[in-house]
Each structure stands twice: as structure tokens, then as C-alpha cells.
Structure 1
Amino acid sequence: MRFRHRAAAGFTTLLLPVAGLVGLATPAQAAGSATATYAKTQDWGSGFEGKWTVKNTGTTALSAWTVEWDFPSGTKVTSAWDATVTNSGDHWTAKNLGWNGTLAPGASVSFGFNGSGSGAPSGCKLNGGSCDGSSVPGDAAPSAPGTPTASNITDTSVKLSWSAATDDKGVKNYDVLRDGAKVATVTGTSYTDTGLSKGTDYSYTVQARDTGDQTGPASGAVKVRTTGTTEEPPPTGDKVKLGYFTEWGVYGRNYHVKNLVTSGSAAKITHINYAFGNVKNGQCTVDDTYAAYDKAYTADQSVSGAADTWDQPLRGNFNQLRQLKAKYPHIKVLYSFGGWTYSGGFGQAAQNPAAFAKSCKQVVEDPRWADVFDGIDIDWEYPNACGLTCDTSGPAAFKNLSQALRAEFGKDYLVTAAITADGSNGGKIDAADYGGAAQYLDWYNVMTYDYFGAFNAQGPTAPHSPLTSYNGIPQAGFNSADAIAKLKSKGVPSAKLLLGIGFYGRGWTGVTQSAPGGSATGAAPGTYEPGIEDYKILKNSCPATGTIAGTAYAHCGANWWSYDTPATIGTKMSWAKNQGLGGAFFWEFSGDTTNGELVTAINNGLK
């Protein structure tokens, strides 16, 4: 899937320039204490990015932390992440969030902020003591309460109970958090939450506050589903209709979760794959934390119509997806890891599948957004074969990884994978045990596109997503029908196969021949990358002039493009139903028109 991973390169141009790390002197360490150090990590002239790192240098656990400092007049914090930052004039205070307050001996945690002005912090204090560790931090925050238990669950309410937290000076009360947002403060160890929606999933945690008004770490999370069924029925039909939402699309493409609502697409899909989480050091990790959970949305940009506040526990795409699910309860969201750019990390992950799976579940079930994700998708391009890099993990590695993911996530989570559609003899499908892995997965997203394109600059011109073979196809087996047939022959059930649709075209320039098979001189110009263009642009700039192998092509001037239209998608959906496939998926939402005509074609075709 060349295009959708190269698209990430467009995001990198938006990063602010790095000015180098400019840190304060490393503090001395003292037994029974903790330290806080500061570094300016970026400076772009009109502003800067700062980072504080808190480290427990003592011998006992630290249950909470508060960092205080002074900025000279004219320097201030404009936004922050991984801490609650407030100020009184030029005096600034940062407190841990519910999930990152506890530090074991030797452990450290960082939080960051964007700022304006040119001053440096001074007068640092950590929990009332010196930031260099020369004095013992003061009053400890309370411990985490016990994980709540749920009882008396009805259509609209649930009773929560938990074991008490402990504190050296006494616990004053408890904050009850639903889906990461505070819904109540109580003095006892139980609470009944009311006014809920029936047939809806919620996640609850609790954190204690001591007599000094310090909050401790959040408890473990309990998931609750209210009884009854939702008012809104899911889309008609029983087929999966899944779209990829790209994390970086909120930048240059200016495509946000709310666009799924305004386009009408949210009512016509069943699943969303959020792309992409990274795979580093054999573990799953969030990639762009700002876009994922820190970017603030105004009221007009937000799905709910309410503006984000600077101190709310969760913002960004994850919070918008939470709001989308509240509005469209039938939608399930999966966190997709890997992709073209990040698949290089799977080789190390395959060396310890159990550890990899555990790390993925920790990300998916992070208490801040545990209610957002209903499963995980693995996009390994390609196991035991070559993509951006060449993998040598062996034919059993993909099956082993899939088995470990299912064992870790259990039956209540969706576990899926995006896989190659190379149906050639001895090709990528033959390189891994996709048949054996299928027993552990809910379905495969078969990437039946990107077969041909201007990565072969001189052509021949050919449709990048042919449904079937045709006379003159540049390579045998490079079409949807052959890929699906090969996967079936390896024992993958038809219902576990989703047909892939690209919401974009691939094109060449220097082409004189209208029919496929012509020569070219290179890639046609594209908005984000040569040889690539969104459907929403192509439908007007280079309308289709013919069809071949179930997909459309267009010759305009010296350019030649291939892409799917509502009509060809209708043909492909009929074919998918006749094959008994589980449905269809597409890459990706932002390539569609503002009224979602390609999503509509998929929905109508699968009814």
C-alpha cells in the first residue's frame, strides 16, 4: 500500500524546526528525594517548546508530583500536555494527571508545553521541596483507590463501588471519572451514575484527593455497558463497511472527525481504522501525540459542538472519536499499527510476540481513552517479504503474532490485519501463513489496490485497482479476483475477507494513448505526491473516459489516471457479495467528496 504510507511524508514538512536541546544543569541526586529538570526542546522564534522531567531519585515510591516555577514577565505557557498546568501571574504550577503520578524508585516521567516569550524558568520546586533533590519533597498525595466494581446496571444508570485510598494526612474525597471526564466528587466509596444512554459502553476510574487538595493516581478502569438497545439502528445489511482515518490528515488535508458527520459518511459505515500507531523497539506506541490526544478543537470544529478546554483530560482525535461514537453508537473503532512507514518494527516484535501484544493492549486500554477503541488492526507490510524494507522473520511469524494478539486481547476485542493482495505465484501471499493466522483474526483488509502506478515511470499505463485480469495486464496475479481466490485456497473463510477500495487515483504523464498499455515519461502531477491524486479532485480535473477490469481510467491532455468511481464501486460491491466476502474497506476518508459519494456507493452496494 505505497500511497497511504508515503502520505505521512507530507506531515513531516509541518513539524516545527528543532533548535536543539537547551537544558539546565543536571541536578544533584539525593536519597529519599526526587528531581525536576527542564529543557527547551524546540525554538521557532515566535515561540518555543519546553519539557520538564521528574525523576524519583529516592528509595520509596512517589505517589504524586507537583512542579512549580517562575517565568520572567512576558514569558508564559500557551498549551501543555501530560500535566495540568495553571498559573498565578508569573508563577506556574504543573500537577500530574491521573495516569502518570506514581513513580517507582529510579523511574521518571516527562510533561511538555508550548510557550511564548524568551525567558527561562527559575525558582523550581518539586512537591514543595528543592528540584535538585537536596531536600525531601513534602506532603505525599493519596494512593490510587481500588478498581471500581459495577452493580445495579440499568438502561440509564450504574452503581460503582471501590476500596478506599490511603494518605498520610487523610483522604478528603474522591473524583469519579467517566470516559476520562469528572462526573462527580463524593466523600464515600460508592456512587450511582445516572442519565446514561441505553446500550452504550462506558469506562470508569476513581482518584482520591487528600486534605491538602492533592489528587492521587487514578484507579484501574472498569468497563460498563448499560442495558437495552440504542435508538439508532446500525446501517442496513450485515457487511463490514470500514474506512481508514489518518492521524496526520488534520494538518495539510484539514480533514477532521467532524467531516465524517458533515459528509453523511458516519451513518453509512460500521468501522473506523485509526491510522497509524507506531511500532518501536518491538512495542506498540502512539505516534503523533499532539494530533492523537492533545490538539484542542473549537466548538464549530467539534463533533459535539462544545469547545475543548485547556485542562480537560483528553482532547485531539481520540476525544473527537469518543464524541462520534456517542452520536453514532453502532460505529466500532480499531487502532491500526504499522503501515508502509512503520512496518520495519514488526521484525523485532515477532521475536517476542507476547511482549508485543501486551504493549499494544496497554496503548489501546490506556485509561484516558479505554472507551474509544474496540479492537486493534495490524498493518505489517510485509511479513517475510519486502516492502519499504525486507523482512526475514520467517513464514510462521505472522501467525505467531496474530495468535499472541488474540491471546492478549481475548474474545471481546476485534483483532484484524491489513494484508498484501499479491496473488501471483510465489508472491507475497505465499510468503506468510495467512491461512493459519486467520483463525485468530476477525477479518483481513485485503489491499486490492496499488498494483500498478508511476513507481514504474515509463508505464505501461494500467489500472491500479483491477478487479479481474485482462489481456495485456502487466503482471499476472495482480488483481483482486486472483488475490481473493488465493487466500480462499489457503483456507481463509470468505466472510473474513474484505475487498479494498482506494479513494484516490494513480497517474502518469507524457501519455498519448487513451487505452491502457501506453508508454509514459513519469508521474502525473499530484496535490500531495506526484502520481497520486484524490478522487474528489480527479472526478472534475480528469473525468473517466473508459473502464477496464472493473475500474475506471481517464486520459486528459498528456495525463492518464485510473481510479474508482461510484459506478465501478457498485460493480465491485456486487462482486464482493457474490463471493460471500465479509464486506469492504477503503483508504481513506479524506479522498472522498464533501458529500461522501464513494462511501454512499459502498453502503448502497453492500445492502
Structure 2
Amino acid sequence: MSLRLNRSSQWRLGAALGLLLMFLGIYPPVLSVASLRSHGILVGYFPQWGVYNQYFVKNLLSSGAASLLDQMDYSQGVIADGRCAIGDPNADLNFVYTAANSVNGKADDPSATLRGNFHQLQELRRIYPKLKVLISLEGKPDGFAAAARPENRAAFVSSCINMFVRGHIAPGVEAGRLFDGFDVDWEYPGPADKDNFLALLSEFRRQMDALHAGLKLSIAVAAGVDHYQGFDMKAISAEVDQVNAMNYDYNGPWSHTTGFIAPLYEAAGDPLHQNTVDATIRSYEAAGVPPAKLLLGMPFYAYGWSGVNNVNHGLFQPGQPIRGDHFYSYIQSIEPASKLYRESASQAPWLFDGQNFWTFDDPPSIRAKLGYARQHQLGGVMVWELSNDSADALLLKTIGTNLHARE
């Protein structure tokens, strides 16, 4: 007699065993959700600057997030003088980790040539060898535009591969095979860049494939396809493995009217009209992006307004934007003092205490989006960004447990 488990039961069994082993101080590389994938991949951006806010690579282990991820995009690499460069040498190479905050429980040797986040990524990869890690290239639009010109692009791409894939990080600093490819986050190429944008991606693909098979290439694209008017999105999609739609910032502190940060569907009375995740996904599909390459983006942060009229529970009302960074953990802290409301069409939540309005994603709204991703047969989801989650990775766990659920 053999015991046969469905995928949901397999995940629960694997997760339970994984938690037990983590409690015992053992981080298993084998029993991960990645081996049970059924409805696309889960990609999370890791913030380089987390070290300054007590968010370390080890947090991915202590929260249980690491075993849920198929791919982590490390933010960020930059462009300097037409070449790839380290975004923050202190965070990436020089930060001295203590035994308490390091992945392997060992303090960094201050005299080692490679410390910081990059060494911690090496240790993480030893525990989860199947986890893909990409470097997210970010920078000013004119830096990308210059690097993508015909006379510059081959040398630029070569510098990126030499540094981040071959591991020649700096003179005398070798990291080996640290990254499995690139996420190109050009925000945003203009109409004059459309041919060079495609050519840059083609050059990345050519040089990566020449090095060895299996290297990944993704792009981050705007919440509105109007940023790419005249671009051949079908040809662009053919060069990349993933198209990460940044399905957030549909409303925020640039507006003096409250609204949703990332609504799945349009809510009645929304003055922005069709400024939604659904409209974005459909527009990219219509532009030629294959659904299997399209990843639905989710925010792990919140926006708020103060001085909001106590009308319609604060929704679509005038207000004063609240500045600063506010993560989902902050929403959890203020939720008891506010009332939670939910828009029926998109399941988008908001908090309102009679004066202050907050918009964010939570487990119910995430589950609605995951159902949408399965319906559209999307390639998976990506999140911005991992440190914004609660300490126990509630939002990421919501994605992990539901991404694989049978319909």
C-alpha cells in the first residue's frame, strides 16, 4: 500500500518538516516549494539597503521566506561610466556580519576580501542551491540610454557578465558564480530608445547564451503599457525569460485624493478609471507578451493620507499625503485602532479611522490576485520587496501556500 498526497498535502507536509528542521537549526535545501511548483514561480526583490535597517539575508531563513522563493532579484547593481558597477560597496562587499546576523552563524573575518551581502548570498546558495539569484540593474534612464547605444552596448553587457556572472567583483575580489542572470529595470526607455532597448536585451541574451545555458534575463515594466508605445513587445518578450509587471503605484502620495495602491479591478466611483492590475495585464497580453512570461507584481508596502473627509469611509476623498516609508508591518501595528474595509470587486482593503486612510495589499487581496494569475495562466508573481513584509513573512507565505493550490 502506498501513500499518495496531492500537491496541497505535499506542500503542508514539506512546510511542516521544514519548520521543524529550522527550529532545530537545520535549513534543508531539498524540501522546498520550488519542487512542488504548479502555478508559476515566485520572485522576490531583496533590498541591498536592508543592512541599514536590520534586514539581513538571514531574515529569509528565520521568517521561512527562503524556502518559498524560486528566484530572488537582488536590488541593486548600477551603471557607472557605461559599465556595470557595485551599487553600494559597503553593503555588498565590506559590511562585517556578526555571528548573530549571518546565514551560517559565523562572524565574518574582517580581513576577508569578500564580506557583506554578497558573501551572505553565497551562504544562502549553499543551503538552497536551486534558488535562482539575479542581479537587478537599476539606474537613471540616461545611463541606460547611453549604455544601450550601438557603440557601447557590447562592452556594457560584457562588463555586467564579467562582474556579476563570472564573479570578478573588484580587483582582488572574486565571488564565483554568485548570480544566475540579470533583471533589467530601465525606468523607462523613451520613444527614441525603442530600438536600442530591444538591441540591448538581444545583446544580453547573445552573450549570456554564449557563456552557458540557463542564465536568466528579465525586465521590469511599468504599470502602464503606454510607456512603451511603438515598442515591439512581442520581440522584446522573445529575448527575456520574464516580464515583471510593476502592478503597483496606481495611486499614491503624488495625489491629493485617496485611492488604491494596486487594485485588481476598477471600483465604483474610482476617478482614475481602469487604472488597475487587470487593465495592465490585459494591455501587455494584447501588446504581444506571452502570459507564461508575464509576472504579476505585488506591493508589500502601503500609502496613506491624513485629514480625509469622513465620507464613503474615506475612499476617493481629498486628503493630505503621508510621506515616508510604510511597510505591511506598520499596517499590522495600526490596524487595531482603525476599521478595515474591503472593495468587493477587487478585494482591495483599506484602513480608515475617521481621518487617516491607508491602502495596501493583505492576504485576502493577494489570494484574489493569485486566482487571477491562474485564470490568465501567468508565469507567476513577483513582490516588491521582501523586507516590507511582516517579520514572519505573512504576505509571502500567503503567496506560497496559494500559488500551488489546485483550482
1:346 aligns with 2:168: no
Q: Contact (CA 8 Å) 2:32, 2:68: kept in 1 or not?
A: no
SS of corresponding position for 2:285:
helix
State yes or no: 1:436 paired with 2:270.
no
2: CA distance, partners of 1:257 / 1:314: 15
Separation in 2 of the partners of 1:541 and 1:467? Answer: 24
Following superposition, the deviation at residue 264 of structure 1 comes to 0.6
Cα distance in 1 for residues equivalent to 2:326 and 2:372: 26
Residue in 2 aligned with 1:107? Answer: none
Q: Using a 3 Å threshold, how does the CA distance of structure 1 residues 396 and 476 change in structure 2: closer, same or farther?
A: farther
Q: Distance in 2 between matches of 1:420 and 1:303?
A: 34
Equivalent in the alignment of 2:54 = 254
Of 238, 258, 266 in structure 1, the residue corresponding to residue 66 of structure 2 is 266
Q: Which amino acid aligns with 2:238?
A: Q
Unaligned runs of 5+ in 2: 1-28, 169-173
Counterpart of 1:486 in structure 2 is 283
**Contact map agreement 2:298 2:382 (CA 8 A) in 1:** yes
Secondary structure of 2:390's counterpart equals coil
Partner residue of 1:563? Answer: 360
Query: Quick check: 1:382 aligned with 2:177?
Result: no
Matched, 1:586 2:388: no
C-alpha deviation, 1:492, in angstroms = 1.1
Deviation string 1:16-66 (CA, Å, 9 cap, x unpaired) is xxxxxxxxxxxxxxxxxxxxxxxxxxxxxxxxxxxxxxxxxxxxxxxxxxx
Matched position secondary structure for 2:224: coil
AA aligned opposite 2:70: T
What is the Cα deviation at residue 471 of structure 1? 2.7
Higher normalized contact order (CA 8 Å, seq sep 6+, divided by chain length): 2
AA aligned to 2:197 is F
Q: Map 1:203-352 to 2 at 5 A.
A: 231-235=30-34, 236-238=36-38, 239-251=40-52, 253-338=53-138, 342-351=140-149, 352=152
Query: How many angstroms apart in 2 are the aligned matches of 1:395 and 1:249?
Result: 34
Q: Could you say which structure has the larger radius of gyration? A: 1
2:208 counterpart of 1:415: no
Q: Distance in 2 between matches of 1:397 and 1:583?
A: 28
* One-letter amino acid of the structure 2 residue matched with residue 550 of structure 1: Q
Once residues 284 and 433 of structure 1 are traced to their aligned partners in structure 2, the CA distance between those partners, rounded to angstroms, is 26
Q: TM-score, normalised by structure 2?
A: 0.84
Higher helix share: 2
Corresponding residue for residue 20 of structure 1 = none
Q: Please tell me whether the aligned partners of residues 145 and 193 of structure 2 are also in contact (alpha carbons under 8 angstroms).
A: no
Q: Deviations over 1:276-327 (max 9, x none)?
A: 1112233211111111011111111110011111222311001101111111
Separation (CA, whole Å) in 1 of partners of 2:30 and 2:286 = 42
Partner Cα distance (1:231, 1:518) in 2: 50
| Matches of 1:590 and 1:316, distance apart in 2 | 17
C-alpha distance in structure 1 between counterparts of 2:176 and 2:270, whole Å:
46
Matching residue within 331, 336, 358 for 1:538: 331
Residues 308 and 314 of structure 2 are in contact (CA less than 8 Å); yes or no, is this contact kept in structure 1? no
Establish whether residue 547 from structure 1 lines up as the match of residue 342 from structure 2.
Answer: yes
Contact 2:314/2:354, CA 8 A, preserved across alignment: no
User: Percent of counterpart pairs with the same letter?
Assistant: 32
Normalized against structure 1, the TM-score is what? 0.57
Question: Would you say the 8 A contact 1:435–1:487 is kept in 2?
Answer: no
Q: Work out the CA distance in 1 between the residues paired with 2:273 and 2:161.
A: 39
Distance 1:356 1:414, change over 3 A: same
SS, match of residue 470 in structure 1: coil
Choose 489-498 or 393-402, whichever is displaced more: 393-402
Per mean C-alpha deviation after superposition, the further-off stretch among 231-240 and 279-288 is: 231-240
Tell me: CA distance 1:355–1:477, structure 2 relative to 1, closer, same or farther (3 Å): farther
List aligned pairs for 1:66-105, cutoff 5 A.
none
Q: In the alignment, is residue 516 of structure 1 matched against residue 318 of structure 2? A: no
Residues 255, 590 of structure 1: 8 Å contact kept? yes
- The answer to which structure has the higher strand fraction is 1
Aligned length: 357
Partners of 2:132 and 2:89 in 1: CA distance: 21
SS at match of 1:581: coil
Residue in structure 1 matching 2:260, options 431, 455, 463: 463
Q: Is residue 399 from structure 1 mapped to residue 227 from structure 2 by the alignment?
A: no
Amino acid of the structure 2 residue aligned with 1:348: A
Contact conserved, 1:293 with 1:318, CA < 8 A, in 2?
yes
- Aligned CA distance change for structure 1 residues 283 and 478 (closer, same or farther; 3 Å): farther
Structure 1 segments unaligned to the other structure (5+ residues): 1-229, 385-391
Question: 1:312 is paired with a residue of what secondary structure?
Answer: coil
Aligned residue number for residue 167 of structure 2: 366
CA distance in 2 between partners of 1:524 and 1:300 (Å): 35
| C-alpha deviation, 1:603, in angstroms | 0.5
Distance of aligned partners of 1:233 and 1:466 in 2 relative to their CA distance in 1, 3 Å threshold: closer
SS at match of 1:594: coil
- Corresponding letter in the other structure for 1:455: W
Deviations 1:327-348 (A, max 9, x none): 1222110000115xx3441111
Aligned counterparts of 2:364 and 2:199: Cα–Cα separation in 1: 40
Aligned partners of 1:234, 1:448: CA distance in 2, in Å?
A: 24
Offset of 1:431 from its aligned partner? 5.1
- Distance in 2 (alpha carbons) for counterparts of 1:440 and 1:505: 33
1:449 partnered with 2:255: no
User: For the residues of structure 2 that align with 1:269 and 1:587, how far apart are their CA atoms?
Assistant: 13
C-alpha distance in 1 between matches for 2:223 and 2:248: 8
TM-superposed CA distance for 1:477, in Å, is 4.0
Following TM superposition, by how much is the alpha carbon of 1:567 offset from its aligned partner in structure 2, in angstroms? 1.4
Q: Which residue of 1 aligns with 2:372?
A: 575
Classify the secondary structure of the residue corresponding to 1:533.
coil
Instruction: Give the conservation status (yes or no) of the 8 Å contact 2:301–2:326.
Output: yes
Residue 326 of structure 2 aligns to a residue whose secondary structure is strand
Moved more, 254-263 or 278-287: 278-287
Q: CA deviation at 1:396?
A: 2.1
User: Structure 1: which amino acid aligns with 2:216?
Assistant: L
- 1:472 and 2:269 matched: yes
Superposed CA RMSD in Å reads 1.7
Question: Does the 8 Å CA contact 1:403/1:440 hold for their aligned counterparts?
Answer: yes
SS at match of 1:345: helix
Contact 2:247 2:262 in 1 (8 A): yes
Paired residue for 1:192? Answer: none
